[in-house]
Structure 1
């Protein structure tokens, strides 16, 4: 297990969270499937729960807000920043839009929710006391986040302009995909690819698991659907499954020997 207590370089996926309809059911599901434990919720932050891996923050679950329509259920990826107001301005200047403008969450930090020009939703997090997830490369931690857009060049240009992404192209016949890095980052921070025809753009999250087969067995027993059957590639074995509200997420079992980056 690796611990990272400082803020992540700007532009790095630093946090993920999910709006859930039944917090108790979702906590039970993720505790069983990914081994998470949870903080106690408080009214101060709308009943928000932090998921913990070995006592370290790994992700968040948000209950429905009273009086608001169902916002939908999908994992949101937050990109780190030291200046969220500048991010909001840059998003608008480069063809994106704001869903929730930047808001201060007391000493924890500030958050905003945006769409890129292709329509993929993402968040931005300005660091305060909360510096994002503190654990990686272990069971239950975020392994990978990626933007799946409907215009590869437009998507790459947007994130390069707003967050300084640089790319290592990994495209092949019939597939456009690149890994992105951020200024000051020590390794690729995520990926960008193209959605299937007819699918809406989105950001996805994949979590690290010790055994993919055992994880899928627990997930199926908990009512999960396997959206994408397991397949192996150089970075491990991966599958896509659903949670209690139908939210999709990936689970990956890394290879015994990590490939060179």
Structure 2
């Protein structure tokens, strides 16, 4: 089985954002039986990571957001090139490519049909 965090084009992470991160965490732990564990981040904060079996698959954004949504991250070989390609093909740039220490490089787009998705190249993929 291939690792989605190293496979270009694979869905590799899901992230919840909304007005009550702690409430959402409890809801999904109850409804789906997810294990949610606090994962330490490089900046000293923690991130509520969703673990299924032994594998982390996503998490809950620790900062409340005005509108709730799930974000899907797609692993790409080059965030900047794929972001530019998306824009060239009619997408709207929501979040420009940026580095997130300890994680990787990310960007977010809205496709020409109204759906948003995030692109990521994990630090483990970068040379």
Deviating above 4 A after TM superposition, structure 1's stretches of 4 or more consecutive aligned residues are 3-6
Aligned residues: 124
Verify the 8 A CA contact 1:15 1:78 in the aligned structure 2: yes
Deviation digits for residues 130-183 of structure 1 (CA, Å, limit 9, x no counterpart): 9xxxxxxxxxxxxxxxxxxxxxxxxxxxxxxxxxxxxxxxxxxxxxxxxxxxxx
Match of 1:63 in 2: 62
Separation (CA, whole Å) in 1 of partners of 2:82 and 2:45: 25
> How far is 1:8 from its partner?
4.2
Gaps of 5+ in 2: none
Secondary structure of 1:10's counterpart equals coil
Separation (CA, whole Å) in 2 of partners of 1:4 and 1:48: 25
> How far is 1:64 from its partner?
2.7
TM-score (norm 1): 0.43
* Aligned-CA RMSD value: 2.4
Gaps of 5+ in 1: 131-261
Structure with bigger gyration radius: 1
> How far is 1:39 from its partner?
2.5
Match 2:105 to one of 80, 86, 110: 110
Instruction: Choose between structure 1 and 2: higher strand proportion.
Output: 2
TM-score (norm 2): 0.82
Secondary structure of 2:114's counterpart equals coil
Deviation digits for residues 53-89 of structure 1 (CA, Å, limit 9, x no counterpart): 1232012110335xxx61x111111111121000111
Instruction: With a CA cutoff of 8 Å and minimum separation of 6, indicate the structure with the bigger relative contact order.
Output: 2
